[in-house]
C-alpha cells in the first residue's frame, strides 16, 4: 500500500487557479488573440482590429465595436466562471457563442499586464487594469461603444511558459492563422490585423463567403478549388476542396467548420483525403475548406480547453459524408474536365491489325451508351490516323472530336496502376526469369520494405531472395515495357516505400501499386515505336478514370475541333 500523505487539502487561491486555467486556455499569444477575438464576435462586433507587437510577446491588442460593458460587468467579467453566455449546463447543447466557460479573461489577466477598456455607450467607458491577476485600478475613461483589451508582457510571471514561446515570426504567424480562421467563420464582420505596424489582413464587413475566402486565402489558392455539396443522412457538407493536380506536399490550407464553428480534426481531414483515392499523388496534401452541418445535439463543443476540437455523436456518419462529398466533387470534376466524355475521346475503331474482338466493345458499355455523334463519328478513322510522339513525352492523335494529347508517362502509370491492383488482388503477372540474377545492396529500411512487401513484389514479378546481411538477389523481373530497367525500378520502388514518399495511402496495396506504377511506367523522354504508342493508347482507353494519373495530374489534354475552327476563324 502506498502511504497516504497526511497533508491538508487547501483550496487554491483564485489567482493560482486562474494561472493553472491559463495554462490550458492561453498557451501562446495566438491563443490570447483567439479568446479576445471570439469575445468580440460574441459581443456582436462589426469591426475588429487586432494589433501585435513582437509576435505578441511584448503586446497584443484587440479592439471591437461590439456591445461593450458597463462598470459592474467589466469588473465581473474578470472573475472566474463569469459569463453572460450560458446559465445552465443544458444551454451548452447547440451553444451559438464561442465563449461559454467564463474563463478566458481571468486566465489571460492572470499571466499578463492587462487592461480592459470598455463602454456600453459612447463616452461612458471604464478602464480596468490588472497585473498578474490582481486588479490595480478601475477608472472612468472615454471610448466609443465597444471594448479594447490590451495584453502586455504575456507570461511575465510564469517564466516556464514564456520559455516555450517560439520565434517572433512563428508566434505572429500562428496569431495570423487564428484571425484568418475567425475571419473565414464570420464573413459579415470586418477584420484588420496589424503586425509590428504592418497591415497583414484587412477585410471589410458584409463580405460574401466566397469573397471572404478569396480575400483570406488569396485568389491564386482559391482558383485551384472545386465546390463540394453533399448531404448524407443527418450530415451536410459544403465548401471547397483542391483540384488533385494542384495539391502539393506542403503549404496546404485546411479549414473545417461544424455548424459555423471552426475546429480541427486530423481524422476528418484524412476522410476527405480518402475521397481522392488514387486521383492524387500520395505525398500531396490538398487544401480543404468544408462546412459540416448537423443537428446541434450531435456535437459536443465542450471537450477541449481552447475549444479547438469537438466531439461527434455519430463520427462515422461525418467521416463518410466527407469522404463521399469529396469523391462526388472530384467525379464531377472528371466529367467537367476539358477532356470531355470519355467515350467520345476514344479512337472510334481499333487500330489496324487488332484482333476483331477488341472492337468498340473494348471501350465498355459506357462507350456504347454515350454515342458521341451518330454514324459519322463511327466511320473508320480512329487509330488509322497517325500517332505523333512530341518531345519523346507526349502522344498526339486525332479523335472524332478533335486533337488529343496524352502524357505517355502519366498514361502508362495509370494503366499499370490498374493492372497491378488486379494482379495484387487476383493473379500475379508472368515474370521473366533472369539468366544472370541481379544482386542489389539495400539499406536496413529498404530491406525491411522488401520483407514486408515480399508477396506484393512477387505478384508484380519480382522474385527476391535475401543475400547476405545487406543485399538481395532478384531472380525474376516484370517487363511492363520494352525500355524497362528492372534494376533501377526495383531500387527506386524500394527506396520510395522506405522513405514513405508515397505515404498517405490508407491502403498498403494501393500504395504499393501506385509506387510501382510510377516507377515502372515508361518515362518522359523515352522514344516509343509506333506499335508501342498504339499499344499504350489502347490500354489507356480500356482503363477506368483515365483523365488523371495516380498523382492526380492530367493524363489527357484535348483540343476540340470547334476550338481549332474558332481559332482559325472558320466559325
Ligand X SMILES: Nc1ncnc2c1ncn2[C@@H]1O[C@H](COP(=O)(O)OP(=O)(O)OP(=O)(O)O)[C@@H](O)[C@H]1O
Say whether residue 83 binds Mg ion (CB under 5 A).
no
Q: Which residue is nearest to ligand X (CB)?
A: 99
Residue 555, contacted partner among ligand X, Mg ion, none, CB below 5-8 A by kind: none
Nearer to ligand X, 39 or 181 (CB): 39
Q: How far is the CB of 33 from ligand X (least distance, A)?
A: 13
Contact (Cβ atoms closer than 8 angstroms) between residue 193 and residue 201: yes
Which letter does DSSP use for residue 550 in this model? Answer: T
Number of shown-chain residues binding Mg ion (CB under 5 A): 3
C-alpha cell at 313: 455523436
Q: How far is the CB of 326 from ligand X (least distance, A)?
A: 32
Contact (Cβ atoms closer than 8 angstroms) between residue 311 and residue 296: no
Say whether residue 283 binds Mg ion (CB under 5 A).
no
Contact region for Mg ion (CB under 5 A) — 95-103, 119-127, 446-454, 513-521? 95-103
Which letter does DSSP use for residue 67 in this model? Answer: -
Say whether residue 99 binds Mg ion (CB under 5 A).
yes
Say whether residue 180 binds Mg ion (CB under 5 A).
no
Nearer to ligand X, 304 or 499 (CB): 304
Q: How far is the CB of 42 from ligand X (least distance, A)?
A: 6
Long-range contacts of 296-305 (CB under 8 A, 24+ apart): 296/93, 296/94, 296/259, 297/93, 297/94, 298/234, 299/258, 299/259, 301/92, 301/95, 301/258, 301/261, 301/263, 302/92, 302/100, 302/101, 305/21, 305/24, 305/25
Binding site for ligand X (CB under 6 A): 35, 39-40, 42-43, 64, 66-69, 77, 82-85, 99-105, 147
Task: Please tell me the distance from the alpha carbon of residue 307 to that of residue 59, in angstroms, as a whole number.
Answer: 24
Q: How far is the CB of 53 from ligand X (least distance, A)?
A: 20
Task: Please tell me the distance from the alpha carbon of residue 237 to that of residue 413, in angstroms, as a whole number.
Answer: 32
Contact (Cβ atoms closer than 8 angstroms) between residue 128 and residue 74: yes
Residue 215, contacted partner among Mg ion, ligand X, none, CB below 5-8 A by kind: none
Nearest partner of 463 among 429, 500, 509, 488, judged by Cα: 429
Nearer to ligand X, 69 or 400 (CB): 69
Residue 112, contacted partner among Mg ion, ligand X, none, CB below 5-8 A by kind: none
Q: How far is the CB of 102 from Mg ion (least distance, A)?
A: 8
Q: What share of the chain is helix, strand, coil (3-state, %, to 5)?
A: 40, 25, 35
Under rule CB under 5 A, which residues in 293-312 are in contact with Mg ion? none
Q: Which residue is nearest to Mg ion (CB)?
A: 99
Q: How far is the CB of 120 from ligand X (least distance, A)?
A: 9
Nearer to ligand X, 99 or 547 (CB): 99
List beta partners, residue 115.
129, 150
Q: How far is the CB of 557 from ligand X (least distance, A)?
A: 52
Q: List the x/- string, 32-71, binding to Mg ion by CB under 5 A.
A: -------x--------------------------------
Indicate which single residue of 104, 322, 486, 518 sits in contact with Mg ion (rule: CB under 5 A): 104
Q: How far is the CB of 130 from ligand X (least distance, A)?
A: 12
Task: Please tell me the distance from the alpha carbon of residue 372 to that of residue 366, in angstroms, as a whole number.
Answer: 11
Residue 102, contacted partner among Mg ion, ligand X, none, CB below 5-8 A by kind: ligand X
Q: How far is the CB of 148 from ligand X (least distance, A)?
A: 8
Helices (H), 186-314: 209-217, 219-223, 266-274
Task: Please tell me the distance from the alpha carbon of residue 474 to that of residue 408, in angstroms, as a whole number.
Answer: 28
Contact (Cβ atoms closer than 8 angstroms) between residue 208 and residue 214: no
Task: Please tell me the distance from the alpha carbon of residue 384 to that of residue 380, in angstroms, as a whole number.
Answer: 8
Nearer to ligand X, 69 or 406 (CB): 69
Nearer to ligand X, 35 or 496 (CB): 35
Say whether residue 111 binds Mg ion (CB under 5 A).
no
Q: Which residues bind Mg ion (CB under 5 A)?
A: 39, 99, 104
Amino acid at each position: 500500500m502506498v502511504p497516504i500523505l497526511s497533508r491538508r487539502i487547501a483550496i487554491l487561491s483564485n489567482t493560482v487557479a486562474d494561472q493553472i486555467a491559463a495554462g490550458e486556455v492561453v498557451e501562446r499569444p495566438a491563443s490570447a488573440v483567439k479568446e479576445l477575438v471570439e469575445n468580440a464576435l460574441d459581443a456582436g462586433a462589426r469591426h475588429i482590429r487586432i494589433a501585435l507587437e513582437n509576435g505578441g510577446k511584448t503586446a497584443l491588442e484587440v479592439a471591437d465595436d461590439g456591445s461593450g460593458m458597463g462598470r459592474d460587468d467589466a469588473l465581473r467579467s474578470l472573475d472566474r466562471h463569469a459569463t453572460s453566455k450560458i446559465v445552465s449546463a443544458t444551454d451548452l447543447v447547440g451553444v451559438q457563442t464561442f465563449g461559454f466557460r467564463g474563463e478566458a479573461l481571468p486566465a489571460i489577466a492572470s499571466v499578463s499586464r492587462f487592461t480592459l477598456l470598455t463602454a456600453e455607450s459612447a463616452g461612458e467607458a471604464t478602464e480596468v487594469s490588472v497585473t498578474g491577476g490582481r486588479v490595480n485600478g478601475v477608472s472612468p475613461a472615454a471610448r466609443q461603444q465597444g471594448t479594447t483589451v490590451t495584453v502586455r508582457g504575456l507570461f511575465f510571471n510564469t517564466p516556464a511558459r514564456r520559455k516555450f514561446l517560439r520565434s517572433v515570426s512563428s508566434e505572429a504567424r500562428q496569431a495570423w492563422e487564428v484571425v484568418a480562421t475567425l475571419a473565414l467563420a464570420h464573413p459579415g464582420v470586418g477584420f484588420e490585423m496589424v503586425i509590428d505596424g504592418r497591415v497583414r489582413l484587412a477585410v471589410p464587413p458584409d463580405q460574401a463567403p466566397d469573397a471572404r475566402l478569396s480575400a483570406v486565402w488569396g485568389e491564386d489558392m482559391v482558383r485551384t478549388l472545386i465546390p463540394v455539396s453533399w448531404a448524407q443522412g443527418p450530415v451536410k457538407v459544403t465548401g471547397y476542396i483542391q483540384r488533385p493536380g494542384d495539391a502539393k506536399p506542403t503549404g496546404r490550407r485546411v479549414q473545417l467548420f461544424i455548424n459555423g464553428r471552426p475546429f480541427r480534426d486530423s481524422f476528418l481531414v484524412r476522410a476527405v483525403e480518402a475521397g481522392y483515392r488514387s486521383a492524387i499523388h500520395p505525398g500531396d496534401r490538398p487544401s480543404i475548406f468544408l462546412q459540416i452541418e448537423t443537428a446541434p445535439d450531435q456535437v459536443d463543443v465542450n471537450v477541449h480547453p481552447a475549444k479547438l476540437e469537438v466531439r461527434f455523436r455519430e463520427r462515422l456518419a461525418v467521416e463518410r459524408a466527407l469522404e463521399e462529398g469529396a469523391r462526388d466533387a472530384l467525379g464531377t470534376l472528371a466529367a467537367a474536365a476539358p477532356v470531355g466524355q470519355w467515350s467520345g475521346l476514344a479512337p472510334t475503331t481499333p487500330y489496324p491489325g487488332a484482333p476483331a474482338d477488341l472492337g468498340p466493345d473494348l471501350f465498355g458499355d459506357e462507350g456504347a451508351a454515350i454515342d458521341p455523334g451518330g454514324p459519322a463519328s463511327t466511320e473508320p478513322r480512329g487509330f488509322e490516323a497517325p500517332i505523333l510522339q512530341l518531345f519523346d513525352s507526349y502522344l498526339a492523335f486525332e479523335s472524332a472530336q478533335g486533337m488529343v494529347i496524352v502524357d505517355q508517362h502519366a498514361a502508362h502509370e495509370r494503366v499499370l496502376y490498374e493492372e497491378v491492383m488486379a494482379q495484387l488482388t487476383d493473379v500475379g503477372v508472368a515474370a521473366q526469369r533472369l539468366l544472370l540474377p541481379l544482386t542489389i545492396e539495400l539499406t536496413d529500411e529498404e530491406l525491411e520494405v522488401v520483407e514486408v512487401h515480399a508477396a506484393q513484389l512477387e505478384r508484380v514479378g519480382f522474385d527476391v531472395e535475401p543475400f547476405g546481411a545487406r543485399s538481395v538477389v532478384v531472380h525474376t523481373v516484370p517487363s511492363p515495357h520494352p525500355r524497362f530497367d528492372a534494376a533501377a525500378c526495383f531500387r527506386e520502388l524500394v527506396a520510395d516505400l522506405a522513405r514513405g514518399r508515397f505515404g498517405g495511402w490508407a491502403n498498403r496495396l494501393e500504395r504499393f501499386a501506385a509506387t510501382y506504377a510510377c516507377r515502372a511506367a515508361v518515362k518522359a523522354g523515352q522514344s516509343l515505336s509506333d506499335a508501342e504508342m498504339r499499344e499504350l493508347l489502347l490500354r489507356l482507353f480500356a482503363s477506368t478514370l483515365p483523365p488523371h494519373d495516380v498523382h492526380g495530374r492530367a493524363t489527357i489534354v484535348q483540343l476540340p475541333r470547334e476550338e481549332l475552327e474558332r481559332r482559325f476563324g472558320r466559325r
